[in-house]
Amino acid sequence: MTCAIFVKTSFGLRASATIPLPPAPPRLPKGLYLFGSVGCGKSFLMDLFYAHLPPKYEHSKRRVHFHAFMVDVHRRGHKIKQEKGEAQDWIHLAARDIAKETTVLCFDEFQVTDIADAMILRRLMESLNAYGVVTVMTSNRTPDDLYKNGIQREQFIPCIELIKSSFVVKCLDSEIDYRKVPRALSKVYFTPIDDAHRLQINKLFDSLTSNEPVTSDRKLTVWGRPIIVPESTSSVAKFGFNDLCGQALSASDYLEITKTFQTIFLTDVPQLGLDTKDQARRFILFIDAAYEAKVGISQFFLFDYLMQTKLFILSEVPIATVFSDQKGKRATDEISDHQRALMDEQGLSADVVGASSIFTGDEEVFSFARAVSRIAEMGGVQWARISKISK
């Protein structure tokens, strides 16, 4: 097998050389590709698999979200290019390094949104497979729909074929979003924004920070850039919505925040519409990072198997209408034909998507629906019980 090297030019990506890859180890088990609509249990099943791997894999297994994985890949690439020069096939070398550390890779929310990621993932997966890494991944899409309608998609087809030949592909579609099955709500999501709810949020923050002085404007550094945390202790932080989502922050920034703080307060979340689309996208990235900040897994208790970031939110509107464009508007009033088709494809109701046409692209609708589902789960007693406020 060979691995093509692509060089970025003013005309895009072009192949410049090939590096032979070793043959995959004999009798290498196939990977597993789980896909289906939001809330159908993909991540839950993957986590159970991860938790019950034999002890011999304890130090060579890795469970990671797509955003965190790509941040790690780019960091490795940056280091390789600094040490060995731009001409090196850094993806091949990064995959080799990952394979030295990892034999079983569990990869959550696999998605491909642009040509650069498409080329990186194609070569990375070829290399990981050649070095004997067994991969289990979840996705909202069937393999044939990955990077659908993307630029130069034909360059990504070999990656799709690799998934179909090297993975067992299983659909987990369900009419039920299990995250949104009715459950008692815990006091983690406060609405509307008024004096009474702001007082409750402040009291919670004070009680969780009573053993340690609160620092103002603490600086976190990500890729050499500072992130300002308005109020924090070593494990608790409080942000206003504009502090967290009104700035040009990325997935790597939110991952660093959720890695640093086990409890996060987010206040003054507005109802998000077309005029705040960028903020809405960042809010979704943050929710994904908070949801995925799992710092430990126990094999003994099914419902206590995760230790997750604790998130308190003070919002202008209820969970279900955070992404609706206008207050008091019926959910079916302004849904485009394209958006309705995407909703039908994912089994989403108009009440979930809301009245806003803020999300129109395929991946946007998927990400939006996932965020609404995850926020709903975060508002439940079960989440409050399995989220550990202190280590």
Q: What is the pLDDT of residues 192-230, one digit of tens each?
A: 999 999 998 998 899 889 889 999 999 998 888 899 999
Domain assignment of residue 254, yes or no: yes
- Judge if pTM exceeds 0.75: no
In the listed set 152, 171, 190, which residue is the last one of a domain according to the structure?
A: 171
Can you point out the beta strands (E) in 272-330?
310-315
Return the higher-pLDDT residue of 307 and 85: 85
Q: Are 260 and 220 a contacting pair, CB within 8 Å?
A: yes
Phi, psi (rounded to 5 degrees) for 322: -60, -40
Domain assignment of residue 92, yes or no: yes
382 shares its domain with 236: yes
Walk across the sheet containing 189-190 and list its strands: 189-190, 310-315, 263-269, 236-240, 225-232, 215-222
Structure confidence by residue, pLDDT tens digits, 42-78: 888 898 899 899 999 999 999 988 878 888 998 899 8
Domain assignment of residue 256, yes or no: yes
202 shares its domain with 299: yes
Cis peptide before 192 (omega within 30 of 0): yes
250 shares its domain with 358: yes
144 shares its domain with 186: no
Mean pLDDT within 125-131: 90
Domain assignment of residue 391, yes or no: no
Structure confidence by residue, pLDDT tens digits, 330-358: 333 445 555 555 554 444 445 444 444 44
Separation CA 381–CA 378 (nearest Å):
8
Average pLDDT, the chain: 77
89 shares its domain with 217: no
65 shares its domain with 117: yes
163 shares its domain with 185: no
Domains in the chain, number: 2
29 shares its domain with 158: yes
Domain that holds residue 90: 2-171
144 shares its domain with 264: no
Structure confidence by residue, pLDDT tens digits, 293-333: 743 333 333 333 344 567 888 899 887 677 765 544 433 34
298 shares its domain with 189: yes
> Highest mean pLDDT range out of 81-90, 165-174, 379-388?
165-174
Q: Are 157 and 351 a contacting pair, CB within 8 Å?
A: no
